[in-house]
């Protein structure tokens, strides 16, 4: 630390000592906070697998199901800047433990929820708890380890984040299918209890306390303004597609801009008046942080969206079960851990180049995936997808392991909570925006290409019906009904509902004819569906390539090295 940098204070108002390389306690403490972070990140994706079971069990409407997902996301994104600053004020370990405790309680309430309405409420509480806990993870890592060890620390975080993203659907599929004790979907929330209890038991003795040594007070007005701005932006982005992008979604997003501007003005005014802003403005004077924030925004728009599209592609397009889809992603998760391991020794030597290499490898993996799926309508196995997933996973691991360390280069210990709160919020907002953008592209492609895919399947459908002996007028009626049915499926906002046109397709025929029609349609429809999904996936991947290419170029504006040359250490 430089002489001009204030020391990080502890509960006893003493400076936090840096752990020695062999400080086993510090490394075990790292495992504890990563375990809690894994629990939180797991909850982002694990719920999506259980949607059908939740809908049946608590008689939830489609809107309530959407809010079960969106309520958590919204609360998490809106609360992290405030959560990070609370760590600076009251102590990062204290806020971490408080957040974990609240998260465990909220998880228990979610698992016991008797109705869809209460489940939505408890998910919002769970998101707020995550917002209090998660920013402390990066902040504790940043202030508790010496600069020469940070590459390894952030590499471990990157590996954990990659594993959590993949493990969510896999674990969710296992738990729902296993139906442990007859609890069904409720176990996806109850599984958080033992993990949280372990973290709560070990954190007090293994995680070091730190807070800003400056006299910092919570900027309540700033907290309200930034929360309102994030909600105005993220809520319509999350709900836009399902709502059909009505005028209010655009009005809300536009309205977020002056609220963000008002927040920025208030932060300046509070600083000039001698108060403490919610977000330390000096952060944005550092090129590593300001440019890194833009890089992070761009990067996370790709990551959140690519996993969403691939999950839908496998489950809805190729009828993979959640468990099968999760197992298919498993090599990607393992490869990301390998990528993180590759990045750790390289980051102190070549710094930002590691991120750029990761971008190029991710692009190579996506191109390989596009080549693999092109023209496949009958057989797309896990083994065929594995090579491209492994390549993509290695690049992803290198990116995640290095990027946060580069962005936080130069951030003072006093500002760690504020910085990580802003950084994590940016990631959540970017993820929501990325999902919305890829949703417009991918679902738009599905709708636009549905008639073409159906036309390609009509000759086979006619042949099946002719072989079964159905008369020509009846065949024409079935073909027309099939075209209408698949068109309505591809354009549906609620994918859980069967369009009326599909239920009526064989209406008016005798039972034997109905069986013939059903058998023929069941043979042809999967092939049509696969063709539509493949034809839609390939152009959607161009968006991912463009984002990774943009990230590659922006990284040139980041510092050449990671925390090995950090200011103040």
Sign of torsion over alpha carbons 48, 49, 52, 58: negative
Euclidean distance between CA atoms 523 and 417, whole angstroms: 57
Angle at 367 between CA 363 and CA 373, to 5 degrees: 145
Q: Is 305 helix (H, G, I), strand (E, B) or coil?
A: helix
Angle of helix 287-312 relative to helix 511-554, nearest 10 degrees, comes to 160
Are the C-beta atoms of residues 404 and 360 closer than 8 Å to each other? no
> Where is mean pLDDT largest: 112-126, 264-278, 453-467, 480-494?
112-126
SS3 9: strand
Residues 6+ apart with CB under 8 A from 214: 6, 276, 414
The backbone torsions φ and ψ at residue 6, rounded to the nearest 5 degrees and listed phi first, read: -65, 145
CB burial string 226-236: b at 16+ within 10 A, e below:
bbbbbbbbbbb
Percent of the chain with pLDDT over 70: 91
Q: Which helix (H) or strand (E) holds 566?
A: none
Q: Please give the average per-residue pLDDT across 165-176, as a whole number.
A: 78
Contact 389, 335 (CB under 8 A): yes
Q: What is the pLDDT of residues 467-478, one digit of tens each?
A: 877 788 888 888
Query: Closest Cα to residue 137, out of 116, 112, 158?
Result: 158
C-alpha of 106 from chain center:
20
Residues 116, 60 contacting (CB under 8 angstroms): yes
Instruction: Name which of 118-122, 396-400, 434-438, 544-548 the model is least confident about.
Output: 434-438
For 191, the token pair is: 């599984």
Q: What is the pLDDT of residue 493?
A: 66
Find where tokens 């549906």 sit. Answer: 492
The pLDDT score that the predictor gives to residue 561 is 65
Q: What is the number of other CB atoms lying within 10 angstroms of the CB of residue 147?
A: 17
At a CB cut-off of 8 Å and minimum separation 6, what does 232 contact? 252, 253, 255, 256, 259
Residues 6+ apart with CB under 8 A from 266: 219, 221, 222, 225, 277
pLDDT at 7: 35
| CA distance to 245, 381, 463, 505, 510, per residue, from 528 (Å) | 28, 18, 15, 16, 26
Name which of 382, 399, 369 is nearest 331 in CA terms.
382
Beta bridge partners of residue 15, listed in sequence order: 9
**Sign of the CA dihedral 347, 352, 358, 360?**
negative
- For residue range 62-90, list pLDDT tens digits in order: 677 778 877 888 888 888 888 888 888 88
Q: For residue 396, is pLDDT > 80?
A: yes
The two three-digit tokens of residue 409, written as one number: 């280069």
Give the ranges where 179-321 is alpha helix by DSSP (H): 187-190, 192-206, 220-243, 247-272, 287-312
Confidence of residue 506 (pLDDT cuts 50, 70, 90): low
pLDDT for 17: 42
- Angle, CA 123 vertex, CA 264 and CA 120 arms, to 5°: 110
For 151, other C-beta atoms within 10 Å of its C-beta total: 25
- Integer Cα distance of 241 and 66 in angstroms: 11
Secondary structure percentages of the chain, helix, strand, coil, to 5: 80, 0, 20
Mean pLDDT over all residues of the chain? 82
The pLDDT value given to residue 19? 46
Helix (H/G/I), strand (E/B), else coil: 15: strand
Give the Å distances, CA to CA, from 330 to 28, 237, 334, 464. Answer: 26, 29, 6, 38
Say if CB 230 and CB 253 are below 8 A apart. no
Q: Are 416 and 76 in contact (CB under 8 A)?
A: no
Residue 48: name the closest of 147, 154, 123 by CA: 123
pLDDT tens per residue, range 5-44? 333 333 433 334 444 444 777 788 888 999 998 888 888 7
Q: What is the pLDDT of residues 356-374, one digit of tens each?
A: 999 999 999 999 999 998 8
d(CA 63, CA 494): 9
3-state helix/strand/coil string of 350-365 = HCHHHHHHHHHHHHHH
CB contact at 8 A, 88 and 415? yes
Calculated CA dihedral for residues 337, 338, 342, 347, nearest 10 degrees: -10
Asked if pLDDT for residue 200 goes beyond 80, the answer is yes
pLDDT at 509: 55
**Average of per-residue pLDDT across 87-111:** 92
For residue 6, the model assigns a pLDDT of: 34
Rounded to whole angstroms, the Cα distance separating 431 from 568 reads 32
Q: Rounded CA gap, 343 and 331, in Å?
A: 18
Q: What is the structure's pLDDT at 569? A: 37
């Amino acid at each position: 630390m430089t002489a001009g940098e204030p020391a990080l204070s502890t509960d006893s108002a003493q400076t936090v000592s840096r752990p020695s390389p062999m400080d086993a306690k510090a490394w075990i403490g790292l495992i504890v906070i990563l375990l809690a972070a894994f629990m939180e990140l797991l909850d982002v994706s694990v719920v999506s697998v259980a949607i059908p079971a939740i809908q049946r069990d608590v008689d939830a409407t489609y809107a309530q199901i959407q809010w079960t997902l969106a309520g958590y996301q919204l609360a998490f994104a809106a609360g992290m800047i405030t959560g990070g600053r609370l760590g600076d004020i009251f102590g990062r370990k204290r806020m971490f433990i408080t957040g974990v405790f609240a998260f465990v309680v909220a998880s228990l309430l979610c698992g016991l929820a008797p109705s869809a309405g209460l489940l939505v409420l408890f998910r919002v509480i769970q998101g707020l708890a995550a917002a209090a806990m998660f920013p402390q993870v990066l902040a504790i890592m940043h202030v508790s380890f010496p600069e020469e060890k940070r590459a390894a620390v952030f590499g471990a975080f990157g590996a954990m984040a990659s594993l959590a993203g993949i493990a969510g659907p896999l674990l969710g599929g296992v738990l729902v299918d296993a139906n442990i004790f007859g609890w069904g979907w409720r176990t996806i929330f109850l599984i958080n209890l033992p993990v949280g209890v372990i973290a709560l038991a070990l954190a007090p003795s293994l995680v070091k306390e730190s807070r800003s040594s400056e006299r910092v007070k919570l900027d309540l007005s700033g907290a309200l303004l930034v929360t309102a701005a994030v909600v105005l932006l993220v809520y319509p982005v999350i709900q836009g597609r399902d709502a059909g992008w009505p005028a209010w979604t655009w009005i809300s997003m536009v309205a977020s801009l002056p609220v963000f501007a008002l927040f920025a003005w208030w932060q300046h005014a509070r600083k000039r008046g001698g108060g403490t802003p919610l977000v330390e403005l000096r952060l944005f004077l550092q090129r590593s942080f300001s440019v890194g924030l833009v890089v992070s925004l761009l990067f996370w728009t790709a990551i959140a969206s690519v996993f969403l599209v691939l999950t839908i592609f496998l489950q809805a397009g190729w009828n993979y079960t959640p468990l099968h889809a999760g197992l298919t992603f498993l090599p990607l998760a393992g490869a990301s851990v390998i990528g993180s391991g590759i990045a750790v020794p390289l980051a102190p030597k070549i710094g930002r180049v590691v991120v750029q290499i990761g971008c190029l490898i991710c692009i190579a993996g996506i191109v390989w995936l596009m080549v693999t799926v092109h023209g496949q309508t009958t057989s797309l196995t896990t083994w065929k997808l594995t090579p491209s997933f492994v390549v993509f996973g290695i690049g992803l691991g290198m990116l995640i392991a290095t990027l946060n360390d580069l962005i936080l280069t130069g951030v003072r210990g006093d500002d760690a909570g504020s910085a990580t709160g802003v950084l994590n919020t940016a990631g959540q907002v970017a993820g929501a925006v990325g999902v919305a953008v890829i949703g417009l592209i991918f679902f738009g492609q599905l709708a636009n290409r549905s008639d073409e895919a159906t036309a390609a399947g009509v000759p086979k459908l006619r042949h099946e019906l002719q072989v079964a002996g159905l008369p020509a007028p009846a065949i024409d009626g079935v073909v027309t009904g099939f075209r209408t049915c698949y068109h309505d499926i591809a354009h549906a906002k609620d994918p859980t509902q069967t369009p009326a046109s599909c239920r009526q397709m064989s209406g008016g025929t005798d039972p034997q004819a109905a069986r013939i029609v059903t058998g023929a349609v069941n043979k042809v429809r999967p092939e049509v569906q696969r063709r539509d999904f493949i034809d839609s996936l390939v152009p959607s991947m161009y968006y991912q390539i463009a984002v990774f290419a943009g990230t590659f170029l922006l990284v040139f504006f980041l510092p050449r090295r990671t925390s090995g040359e950090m200011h103040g250490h």
